[in-house]
Structure 1
């Protein structure tokens, strides 16, 4: 749980507590006191280190969507973080009657926690496709076709040395966006050797951009698998004297607020992140209510938003 993370500063702790209070999320001690045969509570588990969770705009948008779906239903939400080394303790807590179901935001989809919970008959819905597949319900964006559209757009601009800053190779989202980029370039027989895997951070995008420029100084386009990575790449391009989009065109993924505020404004693939959160919450509550014939997965559409960077 965030309050127990030793490496989270008091300032960050206070900030997230204010956000939780504003959004209506209940701390764990309040949920434990709920009476009745059901807990009237669900858990929102984010699979990543707490310090990253507190600064990730993607996570914040998902939480807003979850809150919007559950507003007025009297359901408490426990916000928790998962680390691989503590999975057994977390699974024991979650299956101990404290919650009726779990939403798992899958930043690293090789985590065994969702299957541990599902095998305990606790309803689970994942945000992001499980990397290993299986029967766990999930909600995700159409990552492959979003990346495909981005790659095709760069090709139509006449770019021929097109690189990508891909997401982590141990995530479904990272591999799907990489595959979409490869398909878009392959359609025009453009080489697909210019890629670097990175994490979904500003610093990761900057490191990857430096590595790509060192390898291919003549590259003329970049598709970054997240807006925050694209901003890190933009910072490096500016520092190394590359004009955007004249010398290097760049496209991100998410259409977050930071894309519009970038200089130049960032062309990006839009996914409705709040809808992702609300659909996860809907799917879980529908299962808890016993609704029949629920979809095992929901794939949300994406679209290219054209701005000045490409």
Structure 2
């Protein structure tokens, strides 16, 4: 329904001419601002942006797409089973951050979940047809056929985490998984723990590999393979891994889980086994997801800067869309000490 003015007459939709008049610039300047702001002075840019706000001007995205040859939208692509979108809190935080960043640029974000081969084939057909300008790839796995196809089709892509096997071809934004794991392991050592176990993430993911490597490096000669069990980042895998660790090494006095969900699962097993946290076993996680403050005791963990990761992914992707070379950004993870250690 069209908006009405105070007399009940339908209000005319603002045009570029109205914005130009309000900003005191030419229509060409307004057009350049709308299409990316190239060759526009900072003063004119600010004046046009303010005029757009005050006039209520809305870009005709269809017309703009015809002129620029772009879809003016970006895909948020999760190559995991659909249920993980709701079970893993990290994905929703990244999604919200990316949507916010793109909304500030007047661009919509398309959520695409493609965990199965059939879903991936459909997604690649859609993306390859030019319906989006680029892809924010979440949860990349080594040997991913999706990533290989995105590269072969020359589709602008930025990965969340190091794109294993494609590091020189695809830009990425990652937390410092290796450094963060070293920090957590060092923290547990400094707490006086001597038999520190680890529940890793999947070995075909950068977080799985690098967090294990950081743990290994920090322990040095004290590293013991019998204290390592692999998980898949789900809470259920944390319970299975913790059960195996207690059977294999009942003398353990700490466990570092490669994400908070697995740490939460491990804490349930420890409680059922009559092991107090942190009295008998200290527990550390990674992410600082919401679950970290819902478990009892609250979880010591490594905080990933998810909002900044989203913002940097959007920035790098739009640079690639504009024709710039891919870039990589690694952000530090910070230790958050709570009652579990």
TM exceeding 0.5: yes
Corresponding position of 1:6: none
Aligned with 2:280: secondary structure? coil
Q: TM-score, normalised to structure 1's length?
A: 0.84
Corresponding position of 1:303: 334
Q: Is the 8 A contact 2:170 2:326 kept in 1?
A: no
Equivalent in 112, 131, 135 of residue 98 of structure 1: 131
Separation in 2, partners of 1:105, 1:33: 31
Query: Are 2:91 and 1:44 equivalent residues in the alignment?
Result: no
Q: TM-score, normalised to structure 2's length?
A: 0.77
Corresponding position of 2:111: 79
Aligned with 2:286: secondary structure? strand
Corresponding position of 2:86: 54
Aligned with 2:129: secondary structure? helix
Equivalent in 227, 236, 253 of residue 203 of structure 1: 236
Corresponding position of 1:12: none
What is the 5 A alignment of 1:134-213? 134=167, 135-186=169-220, 189-213=222-246
Separation in 1, partners of 2:232, 2:140: 10
- Please state how far the C-alpha of 1:33 moved relative to its aligned partner: 11
Residues 118 and 302 of structure 1, relative CA distance in 2, 3 Å threshold: same
- Please state how far the C-alpha of 1:260 moved relative to its aligned partner: 2.1
Separation in 2, partners of 1:193, 1:215: 7
Separation in 2, partners of 1:154, 1:193: 18
Which structure has more relative contact order (CA 8 Å, sep 6+)? It is 1
Separation in 2, partners of 1:202, 1:130: 24
- Please state how far the C-alpha of 1:162 moved relative to its aligned partner: 0.8
RMSD: 1.9
Q: Which runs of 4+ in 1 moved over 6 A?
A: 31-34
Q: Which has the higher strand share?
A: 1
CA deviations 1:29-55 (Å, max 9, x no partner) are xx9998522111111110100112122
Aligned with 1:80: secondary structure? strand
Separation in 2, partners of 1:275, 1:172: 19
Q: Is the 8 A contact 1:109 1:129 kept in 2?
A: no
What is the 5 A alignment of 1:258-297? 258-290=291-323, 292=324, 296-297=327-328
Q: Is the 8 A contact 1:109 1:170 kept in 2?
A: yes
Equivalent in 192, 211, 220 of residue 253 of structure 2: 220
Rg (Cα) greater in structure? 2
Aligned with 1:200: secondary structure? coil
Query: Are 2:99 and 1:67 equivalent residues in the alignment?
Result: yes
Corresponding position of 1:8: none
Q: Is the 8 A contact 2:79 2:140 kept in 1?
A: yes
CA deviations 1:116-150 (Å, max 9, x no partner) are 11221211111111122441111111000000111
Separation in 1, partners of 2:110, 2:153: 19
Separation in 2, partners of 1:107, 1:233: 25
- Please state how far the C-alpha of 1:171 moved relative to its aligned partner: 1.2
Aligned length: 277
CA deviations 1:251-309 (Å, max 9, x no partner) are 0000112212221111101111122122111111122234x5x5621101111111111
Corresponding position of 1:25: none
Aligned with 1:253: secondary structure? coil
**Structure 2, unpaired ranges of 5+:** 1-60
Q: Is the 8 A contact 1:67 1:278 kept in 2?
A: no
Q: Is the 8 A contact 2:140 2:163 kept in 1?
A: no
